[in-house]
Amino acid sequence: MKDVELHQLLQGNHRALLLVIDALPFPIYYKDLACKYLGCNKAYEEYVGLSRKQIIGKDVFELFEKGAAAIFAASDTELLANPGIQIYEAPVIKPDGQMLYVKFHKATFCNEYGEVAGLIGAIIDITEQKTLEKKFKRLATYDDLTGIYNRREGRKQLKQLCKDAVRHKRPISAILLDLDNFKVINDTYGHDTGDMVLKKAAQSLDRYSRAHDFVCRYGGEEFMIILPETNKQDAVKIGERYLDELRKLEIQITNDEKLKITASIGVGELDAEFTDRELMLKQADEALYRAKANGKNQVCF
């Protein structure tokens, strides 16, 4: 349909157009150059919780709360100033308080003289899609058991932080921390208790880390902590603090029994002469092995 024909239909509130758009399941509306509603379909009536009679002739500030109305008005004004097609996503709060995430598809239409005469828009509810996207993003980023970052995100952050450290010629260190005797805990008390230990340990590490540090579950009972702006001497001190905090934990096993845990730590450093992050991790892993071999419950570099 040509813009002129569409304008004639909109201008005359043509019954055929209303029958067509009323059959569509998603909200459709159209406005004049003053951004006042010329009409809408039944789905839009349901969407805003008002009748067509209450909508026509009004602007968004008369139908929606101030914050949302300002966003809608700005996008309408931009579209009319730059005629064509406009597509964007936005969170919206319906008049009944329900929060939705929607995609707007809008376009201008012209009169018989080829002048822009208004706009028509459709709203697609993508709330479920966004919810799934957030869920998948969380699964890709966070460890499901402990709630802290997972190995994949840890490797991603390590790459970026090491690049930044090399670029700015700043120190960066990494800690590999492994809970001591974890297999014994699992075999003695069961996997539910083992899971509880992992959660408590993760929470402790996350709670006592500095704001710019990065903590992740690296695998099994092993955690990686990235320490930007930190040389090996300071990293060892931080590692000792983590061990102290873990030693303070008392995990309730039964009404009468509490479990104490310890960990072993290896430290690696990236500096001006040692700029390979994989070698830094290898260094930390070898130091962790020495900490285990030397009796556990200690930090090695």
* String of DSSP letters for 158-199: HHHHHHHHHHHT--EEEEEEEETTHHHHHHHH-HHHHHHHHH
The catalytic residue among 65, 78, 221, 250 is 221
Give the integer Cα–Cα distance in Å for 276 and 268. Answer: 11
- The answer to whether residues 266 and 174 touch, using CB atoms and an 8 Å cutoff, is no
Look-up: residue for tokens 């040509």? 2
- The answer to whether residues 29 and 39 touch, using CB atoms and an 8 Å cutoff, is yes
3-state helix, strand, coil in the chain (%, to 5): 45, 25, 30
Give the integer Cα–Cα distance in Å for 28 and 107. Answer: 12
Give the integer Cα–Cα distance in Å for 210 and 225. Answer: 10
Give the integer Cα–Cα distance in Å for 147 and 153. Answer: 13
The DSSP call for residue 149 is: B
For residue 109 the two structure tokens come to 């239409």
Q: What are φ and ψ of residue 2, in 5° steps?
A: -70, 155
221 given a catalytic annotation: yes
Give the integer Cα–Cα distance in Å for 3 and 120. Answer: 11
Enzyme catalytic residues: 221
